[in-house]
Each structure stands twice: as C-alpha cells, then as structure tokens.
Structure 1
C-alpha cells in the first residue's frame, strides 16, 4: 500500500486526502488545528463553489451539506454610476447546475472528522520545513497544501506568470443574518457582484454557516482608496458598521436590504490582503527530498473572481487522477512537473481572467458588461464563465472577438 503525506487541511488537502483514502492509499494528514478548533475559529473564506467543483465533491460523496446550503441559481452584476446610482444591473442564470457556499468552518471540521472516522491518520502539528525533511523519508509522496507560512518559501515565485508583486485589493468579509432578498429576484438566490469604478467591488453571497442560512458581505478595495479602511480593526461590530457604511455610500441598493443585519457570530469577520502569485510546483527539502505543491501553494489568485475554492477542488481532482494513473511507479520530479502542468491547463485560464479583472477594464469589456442588461444570453454566458473560465478566451480578452460575439447576439 502506497503511503502519502498531505500537509494542510483546507479544501484541496482534505479533498485529496479523502479521495486517496477512498482508493486504498495509506494517507497521513497534517493539520495545524483540530476539527473543534476549526469549527469554533474565525471564518476563513467566501467559498462560493460552482457546478464543476461541486461535482468533484459529489464524485467522492463528500457533499454532506448540499441539501442544507442555499442553491445559488445565478450571478448578477451591478455597476455604480454617477451619484451612486446603478449604471448597469443584470443577472445571468447558471446553465450547468447551481452553485453553493458552505462556511469552511463547517466543511473542514466535518471532513476532518470523516477522515479520522474512515481510519486516516491525523497529525495535529504546524509543520515546518525541518519536519517535512524528516517525514519525507517515510512516505512515497509528500503533498503540501498549506498555503501560508514557512512551507510556501520552498516554492519559488514564477515571475513569468506573476505580473503583480503587491496586493491588488484590500479584503474585508462579514457573515451576517437578516439580509433581505434582492427585490429584482426575490424568488431565487444569486451571487451579486457590485463594481464601483476606482473604488473596488462588493460581493454579496448566500451561504450556509454554523447557525444556518446566512449571507456574506465581501468588500474588495483598491489599495489606498476609501474601501481600504479595515486595517487595524479588531472589533467585529466595528468591522460590520464600516462594511455597512461603505455599502450605503457606494452601493445603496444593497444597503437597502441590510437594515436588520447582524453578525452570525463573533468569528464572522475577516480582513487582509495578499499578492496574486504563481509559484514553481516542486519544493526541495534540505535533505534532498522533493515535495509537490497543491492549489493555493502554487497558484494563488485574488478572490475577485471567486475562484479560490473552485481551483482548490479542481486541483485536488486533477492531482488525484494523476496519482491513480501513476500506479506503483516512483513519484519523481518529472511526474511532479507533469502533474502540475496538467492542472495548469485549467488554472491558467483562472489566472489570466482574474488578473484581467484586477486591472482597469478596457472599453470592449465595459461594453460587454453593459450589454448584459440588453441581452440575456450575454449575461448568462458571463455568469457561466465563473464555472468554466476557459470560455472567456472566446469573447472577453480581444476587442475583435467581443465585437463579433455581441454582433452575433444582436443579430439573433
């Protein structure tokens, strides 16, 4: 039986560990927190997952909360214009299947318990490079999915694929109860993307949290701008008050349904920033051993396109397939490179799209987004790109392709 060590117990690490476990591998999982510590801690992300990523969980029978989480049927875009009025407002509908968000405190705690219940070896320890140097001798393969701290330093930045050295947004998240429905579509849930030119973005997302149905209010602020104001705020209520004040100023239509909101719990806020970065996939240990980076360790994107958990799930599924296909052969450097390259075929589309959305949109993209209000097929196609970002190659980046696409839609 092949022995594999997975370091890090987030979406990718746990999904991969549970997947390997289901195929008979002897898996050890290292986590820096117990299930109870995860469950009682602070929120970790916004994690709206679209159809393809959700299907990877279903394939492994890990979709434990699917019947409880809100079904997100579409994705809407609003653009703030003069006097904080909406210049653009539409909603596109998902065609392949609904999206869902489950608070990672719920999911990761549940998956950790499932892993141990199924006989997996769980080690509660914040791993350092020296630890991996020791453990690598006892395992056929070591996978690093812990995307922060010392371990990430083993993976060199890929400058050719990383155009930004500094964070492009300041992030602030609040989980709330009591948000009213969007009056434009009170009968179904949708992710709402509110774009405020020159200021940032507000995302509103239905979710399942520890106390049931909730909504996520998520500001992404341009560094140095008016939404870049959460640094140093430690009090959750102060965090929420600032979130709402910014909504009232820049997205009053969202603020109108937030008059009765309250935080879901004392751990329901999060703020920070990081630079989007692609890294080399192979880490070299002092003793000569090799480790393979997973998901956020090697491809970290800004959450402006909501791809973090989706990419983590897709990476875990891709790596699982590569491991199973490799059989009993050695997990050497060539295999590690091929395994990452296979995943990069998917991840490169996410990185390209996300980095484009962080920049000032060119005229043809503004026209495309504006056309979503006039043509439902445009709105639908843009919304479904969140599940399959590779489609943006066909109509988003190049003005000629955008114009041809819009002309074809108008003709129909």
Structure 2
C-alpha cells in the first residue's frame, strides 16, 4: 500500500502516456508530486486513433487500479470469468479445457482508458505536454525535474536504453500479430472467457471480450510465426480486407472459431492493428549527452510477445513498484543506484513473465504438452494453469522442469496439493 502524503516539492516527468505512464502519473499526483506527463497525442486524438493493443487485466492488476480509484468500467466492461485453452493440430482439437479465474479479468480499449485517465490527470493539476519527445526534450526535462522516467516502449526514444543481452533470449520478432476489434462474434456456450488457441508450427489465435468506444466487443487476433501460413497480412490494404483475411484463416485452420466469426464486423474503422514485437529486456538507466540519467519503465525495459497477455499487467505492476519506491525515497536523490535498484525490484517479478512467455515461443517441450493434456481430466490442474495468467511466478518450478511437472500432476491426481500449496502467492 502506498503511504499517502499531502504535498511534496519534488517534481517528476514521465515521457509516454500508456498504461504505465498515466497510471504512475496519477498515482504520483495523489501523493502530492509535481508531475509533467509528455504525450505525443491529445486525449481526443488518442480516442479517435487506431487501437493500440489487445489488453487484458487480470485480478492483481485490477486491484492496483482499484487502489488508485481508477477502475471506472466495472459496470460497463464484460466480466471475463475465466480462460479456455485449445491445442489445434491439422484444424482439429487435440487438447481442450477451460477454468474460471479466482478473480475476474477485464479488458478496456486503451483508447477509452487512456483518454479518460489523461483528462483526469489534467483535472487533478498535472501538466500534460503534447510533444514528440526526443533527446532534446529529455535533456530539458532532466534539467528541470528531480526524476525523468521514459514509458514510451515502442518508439525511437526507447532505443536510448541498451539491450541487456544476458536477459534477452531473442533479437528479432518471433510472432506477427494481426488484431481486429469486432462486434457480432457468436458467444461461447459456456461462461465468458478469454480464449487461447495454440497451433503448433503456425502460431496462436486469441479472443478477448472487451469494452470499446461503441460498447462491448471482442478483440480477436492471430499471432503468426513469421513466414508461416498465418503470416498473411502483408498485402492487406484496408480494415475490411484485414477482417476478411482473418475470417478466411480461421475457417481454414480453426473452423469452430471461423463459425463463431461469420457475422463479426469491425467495431470502428480504426479497429485493426498489425505489428511485430522483438521480445527484449533493456538496461534500466540511460545516460543523456549532458551526463544526466533517465530511468525506463514497463515495456521500455521489458518487452514481451503478447501471447501470454501480460503487457498491460506488466505495465500496471511496474508502475505500482515505481510509485512505492519513489514515495519511499522521500527527499533522497534519485541517483543511478536507486534507479537500478528500483528496476531490479520490478525484475524480481517480471523475470517470471519473460521466462514463461519466451518459453512458449519455440515448440513446447514434452512435459508442457503432458501438463496441458492432463489438465483436461484434472480440473484443479486446469485452474492452476489458468490462474498463472494472473500470477506467472506460480508456474515455477512445475511448468519448467519435467520431474516437477510429473510431481504436480501426481499431486492433483491424488488430491494432495500440499507440495504446491504456495503456488499463486508470489506478488510484486
């Protein structure tokens, strides 16, 4: 819990107005900090622009937002009760199970969320600066603020942070994502769930019930292995063609999902997105030409492929750690040792997300396939796998080690889970 203060003379600048940047800016304002937030778009431009992600927030991340009073969509966003997982081979279901989450999840179009939060930030006395920030802007901010944080994870400015080769397993994108926000997707026959369809050798397909500008919708996206048959959007020239290509691929490789999508239509003309993300971990501190230092935040430093749905969750948890560390710092200087230690505090959690996500990008090892297969007949194991989306550290060690996997399955078979009783307790 952040210790609340009424006022501080300390000033902080944040470059980047996504989940992490705006959440942290609002939290700092609540604690009395003078905050400058730099965004390359106005709130209205954010709302009117293209969709930015396929965000899903799990229980622990939603609790962070509730703690800051930022959970404005509890009564309007679909309640995601659980997850379903299918392994598909040759257009047929090979493995399939579903389980409810201990606490529901939620997905709110970031255009809606960020526009609302930016307006609250300005209304709370924060300074919103609209600019394309570069080195010159960072130098100006560093000269006039006690701390500068960079939360723009996918732009040119993030490249000032050195890639951490020891923590980065890949140097190129491992998937090509093609996202559509749609109305009219046929509902599941069971509870409301996020759907994950794994296609070995091809990629993945995900469905996330969400709230967008025009009401409840579904975010559907294909996550294709580059160069494979699902990587088929390079010649698409319009949003309508993008959705048509998605339906065509679903009909061919996941026919049961293709049937659900027959009547799907785009939520709005800006409801499509394509992209390729190289999973990367960067070093937390960047040195400016003047000698001043700036600190990276969230996916500036830890950028994962979206296949485990951890992007917004990582952002929320990173911002939460940084807020607590900033407040606890009091009047002490935000020097480079403190910057590095603050990131390492977040890395204690984030390393589990990186290990899990990176491990799913190559072909799954045999013991993981065995775990998924066993989850079909063991509801408690299925629940443990599903709950890991909320708390990835709970997967250690049984997801990564064949012997531990066998013990985990045996514990669920016998009904004795004492050996894994602490699973799911790890938090940031």
- Paired with 1:148 and 1:209, the residues of 2 have a C-alpha distance of 23
Cα drift, residue 65 of structure 1: 1.1
- Paired with 1:318 and 1:340, the residues of 2 have a C-alpha distance of 9
The 3-state SS of whatever aligns with 1:324 is: helix
Q: Which 10-residue stretch deviates more, 284-293 or 149-158?
A: 149-158
Out of 118, 123, 127, the position equivalent to 1:117 is: 123
Contact 1:7 1:127 in 2 (8 A): yes
Is 2:377 the partner of 1:369? no
- Paired with 1:224 and 1:194, the residues of 2 have a C-alpha distance of 19
- Paired with 1:67 and 1:394, the residues of 2 have a C-alpha distance of 38
TM-score, with length taken from structure 2: 0.94
Cα drift, residue 244 of structure 1: 0.6
The 3-state SS of whatever aligns with 1:116 is: helix
Q: What is the match of residue 326 of structure 2?
A: 323
Is 2:77 the partner of 1:87? no
- Paired with 2:351 and 2:176, the residues of 1 have a C-alpha distance of 23
Contact 1:93 1:379 in 2 (8 A): no
Residue-by-residue CA offset, 1:137-192 (whole Å, 9 max, x unaligned) = 10000000011222112100000000101100011000000011112x0xx21010
Residue-by-residue CA offset, 1:201-257 (whole Å, 9 max, x unaligned) = 000110000000000111000111011111242300000001011111111111111
- Paired with 2:225 and 2:204, the residues of 1 have a C-alpha distance of 9
The 3-state SS of whatever aligns with 2:170 is: coil
Out of 284, 288, 299, the position equivalent to 2:287 is: 284
Q: What is the match of residue 6 of structure 1?
A: 14
Contact 1:7 1:143 in 2 (8 A): yes
Backbone CA RMSD of aligned residues: 0.8
- Paired with 1:323 and 1:312, the residues of 2 have a C-alpha distance of 16
Q: Note the 1:221-232 alignment, pairs <5 A.
A: 221-232=224-235
Q: What is the match of residue 311 of structure 2?
A: 308
The 3-state SS of whatever aligns with 1:161 is: coil
- Paired with 2:129 and 2:87, the residues of 1 have a C-alpha distance of 47
The 3-state SS of whatever aligns with 2:230 is: coil
Q: What is the match of residue 265 of structure 2?
A: 262
Is 2:165 the partner of 1:162? no
The 3-state SS of whatever aligns with 1:63 is: coil
- Paired with 1:305 and 1:11, the residues of 2 have a C-alpha distance of 17
- Paired with 1:191 and 1:135, the residues of 2 have a C-alpha distance of 41
Q: What is the match of residue 152 of structure 1?
A: 158
Q: What is the match of residue 108 of structure 1?
A: 114
Contact 1:231 1:271 in 2 (8 A): no
Out of 232, 242, 245, the position equivalent to 2:245 is: 242
The 3-state SS of whatever aligns with 1:216 is: strand
Is 2:52 the partner of 1:52? no
Out of 256, 272, 277, the position equivalent to 2:275 is: 272
Greater relative contact order structure (CA < 8 Å, 6+ sep):
1
- Paired with 2:228 and 2:62, the residues of 1 have a C-alpha distance of 35
Residue-by-residue CA offset, 1:344-366 (whole Å, 9 max, x unaligned) = 00100000000001111011000
- Paired with 2:396 and 2:36, the residues of 1 have a C-alpha distance of 39
Q: What is the match of residue 4 of structure 2?
A: none
Out of 170, 178, 181, the position equivalent to 1:172 is: 178
Is 2:390 the partner of 1:382? no
- Paired with 2:164 and 2:93, the residues of 1 have a C-alpha distance of 39
Q: Give structure 1 stretches of 5+ with no counterpart.
A: none
- Paired with 1:251 and 1:373, the residues of 2 have a C-alpha distance of 19
The 3-state SS of whatever aligns with 1:44 is: coil
- Runs of 4 or more, structure 1, over 3 Å off, are none
- Paired with 1:336 and 1:312, the residues of 2 have a C-alpha distance of 17
The 3-state SS of whatever aligns with 2:179 is: strand
Cα drift, residue 81 of structure 1: 2.5
Q: Give structure 2 stretches of 5+ with no counterpart.
A: 1-8, 416-428
Q: What is the match of residue 21 of structure 1?
A: 29
